[in-house]
Chain A
Amino acid sequence: MSTVAIGAARGRLELREFFRRKEAVVFTFSLPAFILVLLGSVFSGDMVDAGVSMSQLFTASMVGAGILSTSFITLGVGVATDREDGTLKRLRGTPMPAAAYFLGKLVLVAVASLAEVALLLAVGVLLFDVELPTDPARWLTFAWVFALGVVSCSLLGIAASGLAKSSRSAPAVMNLPYIGLQFISGVFINPIVALPAAMVGVASFFPLKWICQGMRSVFLPDGATALEMAGAWEHGLTALVLGAWCVVGLALCLATFRWTNK
């Protein structure tokens, strides 16, 4: 079999394992939707400027946080677990090409992230009057923000998996930056202009702020730029930052990836 065929088979296997794992389904997959239901309901009916409701703002931002969960957390925890439970060691002793393992993870993350976005948008549409855009240009924006976001966060997750001493500590190691970034990147606290500029300044160094901003540019009306720090969607800068993180993430992976804990 070719590397691509084996990678596809691994992707199917990874998806099956992911969705059979209770803690993955509950904490990684369902938690962002649960938080969106809570946050959106607490502030339901509150209008911000530009004819945008708080719940719509939360929905768009949570789409960004959701794909960080299904990429960064999934791989950070997943690869640490693979390293500990013998998955990587076993694979290393077979003729499976190393690239097929990463291809399988990519399939897992891409499918899980798309499902995550669908779930969050369903919550938004059904509960918070979010309207899905019909303009193809907006879906094009969605596609590249999604792709750059998933790839950069996946690579960072794989690199971060090596920081965890064991698969038990991995969720804690991964969630610390995730939760912290959600506070300062305009996910839990909206609109982002409500945050101190210095905090957003820190968040601007990391991918989450840009993924969420990109998603707001897809799912909110154009007038909502008034609720951004820069007063604009900053697509060029978004692509630049996320692209840079893809490069940094890849370099970190290549420098730090280990097949075993030894």
Chain B
Amino acid sequence: MSAIRVRGLRKAYGGVAAVDGVDLDIAVGEVFALLGPNGAGKSTTVEILEGHRKRDAGEVEVLGGDPGRASAAWRGRIGIVLQSATDAAELTVREAVRHFAGYYPDPRDPDEVIELVGLTGKAGARAGRLSGGQRRRLDVALGIIGRPELVFLDEPTTGFDPEARRQFWSLIRLLAGEGTTILLTTHYLDEAEALADRVAVIAGGRIVAEGSPKTLGGRATAEATVRWVGADGPQVRRTADPQNLIVELSRHEELAELTVARPTLEDVYLDLIGERA
């Protein structure tokens, strides 16, 4: 069953296309990453799916409904983690989370959610006095307090230090483990690789590749680069079948410092978004 189904989604700003014919299928329970550079159209796509922006064209179905005509009941089933909100600055973390719990028919326990995002020590602190990373965790708490079936996260870890990012990743895995469908956008490769069941690479408003992080862009089947130091010095050979090559070579000589490399996700990604000549 699909949680999100998008066909031919288009959106232009002042005649310039920001999203230019996007198709997406995201299954229930899946963690899906929309990966792309700045300006690729990630936020525009996600905000249309959240019901925050209007689309110019295309079919969009999110949890069986059209986000452009969202009902309160539909909104109660999704969770949106905002990217740069500074609201509720005068409220404490606990006040804010408790208040938002009151909007939903079957909310999670506010104190448990605060614990889950690691803000228990800051529960009595005003939201406006939190550090950047703590503030984003409050945004996550407010996004998941309603026990959503589907959570949207738009570049959730931008500006995090590595430690905060790891903590955040385990939180996402925890939600995914509970069966929550997750759509996240990121311009960090390692984030998509670490979290997503499936990745779509978006550039210039179009999906340029889609697949699991392992198979993305034909990565698993691409030619491997085999390097070794033989009798005549360092050697490099490209092949689709490195195993055979190595067996063949090792009959004749000692293969010192042997390495076999597939293109990294980064190589594939940079090719896809056209950042490499």
Q: Which residues of A contact B (CB under 8 A)?
A: 1, 6, 9, 13, 16-17, 20-21, 82, 85-87, 89-90, 92-97, 260, 262
Residues of B within 8 A of A20 (CB): 90, 126
Residue of A nearest to B72 (CB): A95
Residue among B78, B82, B103 with max Cβ neighbours from chain A (10 Å): B103
Residues of A near B100 (CB, < 8 A) are 94
Residues of chain B contacted by A17 (CB below 8 angstroms): 88, 90-91
Chain A residue at minimum C-beta to C-beta distance from B75: A95
Contact at B104–A95, with CB atoms within 8 Å?
yes
Q: Which residues of A contact B72 (CB under 8 A)?
A: 95-97
Most buried by B among A89, A94, A97, A260: A94
How near does chain A come to B9, taking the closest CB pair, in angstroms?
A: 18
Residue pair A94, B146 in contact (C-beta under 8 Å): yes
Cβ B95 vs Cβ A90 within 8 A: no
Q: Is the CB of B99 within 8 A of A93?
A: no
Q: Are A95 and B76 in contact (CB under 8 A)?
A: yes
Q: Taking the complex as formed, is B80 at the interface, i.e. its CB lies under 8 A from any CB of chain A?
A: yes
How far apart are the CA atoms of A87 and B146 in the complex, in Å? 17
Kindly report which residue of chain A lies nearest to residue B83, judged by CB atoms.
A86
Q: How far is the CA of A1 from the CA of B51 in the complex (A)?
A: 23
A73 to B85, CA, bound (A): 23
Contact residue among B85, B102, B104 (Cβ-Cβ distance under 8 Å from A90): B85
Asked if B149 is an interface residue, CB under 8 A from chain A, the answer is no
**Which B45-77 residues sit within 8 Å CB-CB of chain A?**
50-53, 72-73, 75-76
As a 0/1 sequence over residues 93 to 123 of chain B, the CB contacts with chain A under 8 angstroms (1 = contact) are: 0010001101111000000000000000000
**Do A13 and B146 touch (CB < 8 A)?**
no
Q: Given A13-B91, A96-B103, are A262 and B86 also a contact pair (CB < 8 Å)?
A: no
Complex CA distance for A13 and B102, rounded to whole angstroms = 12
B89 at the interface (CB under 8 A from A): yes
CB pairs A–B below 8 angstroms (21 shown): A16-B91, A17-B91, A20-B90, A85-B87, A85-B89, A86-B84, A87-B85, A87-B88, A89-B85, A90-B80, A90-B82, A90-B142, A93-B51, A93-B78, A94-B76, A94-B103, A94-B146, A95-B72, A95-B73, A95-B75, A96-B72
Question: Once the chains bind, are A1 and B85 in contact (CB under 8 Å)?
Answer: no
Sorted nearest first, the 8 A-B pairs with minimum C-beta distance are A86-B85, A95-B76, A93-B80, A87-B87, A95-B72, A20-B90, A17-B90, A86-B87
What is the CA–CA distance of A92 and B80 in the complex, to the nearest angstrom?
A: 10
A17 and B87 CA atoms in complex are apart in Å by 11
Specify which chain A residues have a CB less than 8 angstroms from the CB of B75 in the assembled complex.
93-95
Contacts of A85 in B (CB 8 A): 85-87, 89
A6 near B52: Cβ-Cβ < 8 Å = no
Q: Is B87 within 8 A of A260, CB to CB?
A: no
On chain B, the residues within 8 Å of A90 by CB distance are: 80, 82, 85, 87, 142
Find out whether the CB atom of B90 lies under 8 angstroms from the CB atom of A89. no
Residues of A within 8 Å of B53, CB to CB, are 262
